[in-house]
């Protein structure tokens, strides 16, 4: 069963609705959030089949390292102010 976490109001400026994102989690709370489409311009949230290959894209490295500095990193789907771990 996937983890479902509430996206806190403090991340309002980073929340852009439905989409695939990478989240930093500390103590069961999301502390940072970045959408894949904000890092990989060609990423299409509707193309789930492309996701596994894109996770190895070197362009994600700096973003993942930044998120790792504040917590454990998870990939998931954002929607309705929730993050569902994939």
Q: What is the pLDDT of residues 32-58, one digit of tens each?
A: 999 999 999 999 999 888 889 888 999
Per-residue b/e over 23-61, b at no fewer than 16 CB within 10 Å?
bbbeeeebbbbbbbeebbeebebeeeeeeeebeeeeebe
Average pLDDT over residues 2-6: 93
Total domains in the fold of the chain: 1
Domain span at 16: 4-85
Predicted local confidence at residue 1, as pLDDT:
64
């Amino acid at each position: 069963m996937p983890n479902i976490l509430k996206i806190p109001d403090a991340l309002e400026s980073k929340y852009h609705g439905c989409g695939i994102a990478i989240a930093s989690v500390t103590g069961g709370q999301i502390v940072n959030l970045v959408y894949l489409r904000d890092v990989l311009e060609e990423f299409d949230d509707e193309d789930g089949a492309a996701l596994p290959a894109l996770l190895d894209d070197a362009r994600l490295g700096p973003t993942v390292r930044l998120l790792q500095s504040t917590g454990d990193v998870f990939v998931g789907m954002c929607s309705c102010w929730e993050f569902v771990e994939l």
